[in-house]
Chains A and B, each alone.
Chain A
Amino acid sequence: MAEVHHHHVHNQDPEAGAEQRKAIWKTFWILLIITSLEFLIAFTVPHGVLKVSIFIVMTIVKAFYIVGEFMHLKHETKTLIWSILVPVIFVAWLILALLLEGNAIFEAIFA
């Protein structure tokens, strides 16, 4: 334990990273407020297409902040951002295909 190799210089400046910490807490408040709004909507808006659409939009906004800020993807190179986002197209296709399939099963059995 005696020999400690420092490749980086120890940063003693207390102001260092203050901006990142501010951004982190800002993201926290955004996530908290959106989640609280979701609760409010869950008990005030009647169940239907509008309610589900609002929930989906809010979920995507939350996902954007978690992936972009917490996982830092927003600040990576463009190639990395696209390498992560493009495969999600397959997920979108899977959702569409299987929800239609589920609906077809419903029609075949109950309609």
Chain B
Amino acid sequence: MASHVTTPGAVEPKMWLGGIEPMKASYGKLMMWFFLISDTFTFSALLVAYGTARFSFPAFTGKHEDFTFSNMYWPVPERVYEAVPFLHGISLPLVFVGIMTFILIASSVTMVLAVEAGHRMDRANVEKYMLWTILGGFTFLGCQAWEWSHFIHGTDAGTVMKVIENGTWVEKTIFGANLTENQYGPPAFADFFFFITGFHGTHVFSGVILNILIFFRAATGFYDKRGSYEMVEKVGLYWHFVDLVWVFVFTFFYLV
């Protein structure tokens, strides 16, 4: 550390046009924070709407082992999400979503390591960790695509349900779910699944695109030329936010 000590005041201060630097943060970083606050409101609205719908429906009151799919009560999520790729027919509650959670947390770690490397102007490590983060993002998206596909196609047996069709009650077997039919429970449950995980997945996808852009600019020496890797930090904030949202989705959609 002693080989490189900056004298106080030697670093050129980063000023905004008013001549000061509010909250000791650059303009871009502060605006990213405020954007993330607005995004927090959007995700909160979705999750709170989920809570409202859940509280206004009857809950399943029996034992978890006795749970069966029905549109008369809200489903127990651990019995809905129990499928894992290549292990067809085996009940593994929440295992796959656990793997997805781990992937996202790991990609958050590689992202913050890229930010740290950027502070040291260490281009090779920024490239390495950005690639790991991009890989984590794509893996998560792949997992989500599989989960959606499974959720939409449903179980082998389907669920026999009484539903209203063209104004009359009919009994029919429903396979999987879409925005109007749902074999796992009330249609609202499937709607919230598609909207909440879909909106989050869209954020992951945008994050991966931004990460690729950052990787490309780092690899072509753009940030070396600029003399600052702060863009890695700003996009890092966005990527961590996506991870943060998943922590809440995981608890309130899958666990509770």
A42-96 interface with B by 8 A CB criterion = 42-43, 47, 52, 55-56, 58-59, 62-63, 66-67, 69-71, 76-77, 79-80, 83-84, 87-88, 90-91, 94-95
17 pairs from A and B in contact (CB 8 Å cutoff): A7-B12, A10-B121, A11-B120, A12-B3, A16-B1, A16-B120, A21-B113, A24-B109, A28-B105, A31-B105, A35-B98, A35-B101, A38-B251, A39-B98, A63-B247, A95-B44, A98-B51
Closest to A47 in B: B64
Task: Tell which of B1, B64, B109 touches A13, judged by Cβ atoms closer than 8 Å.
Answer: B1
Residue ranges of B at the interface with A (Cβ–Cβ < 8 Å): 1, 3-4, 12, 23-25, 30, 33, 37, 40-41, 44-45, 48-49, 51-58, 64, 78, 93-94, 98, 101-102, 105-106, 108-109, 111-113, 116-117, 119-122, 221, 224-225, 227-228, 236-237, 240-241, 243-244, 247-248, 251-252, 255-256
Residue ranges of A at the interface with B (Cβ–Cβ < 8 Å): 1, 4-13, 15-17, 20-21, 24-25, 27-28, 31-32, 35, 38-39, 42-43, 47, 52, 55-56, 58-59, 62-63, 66-67, 69-71, 76-77, 79-80, 83-84, 87-88, 90-91, 94-95, 98-99, 101-103, 105-106, 109-110
A70 to B228, CA, bound (A): 19
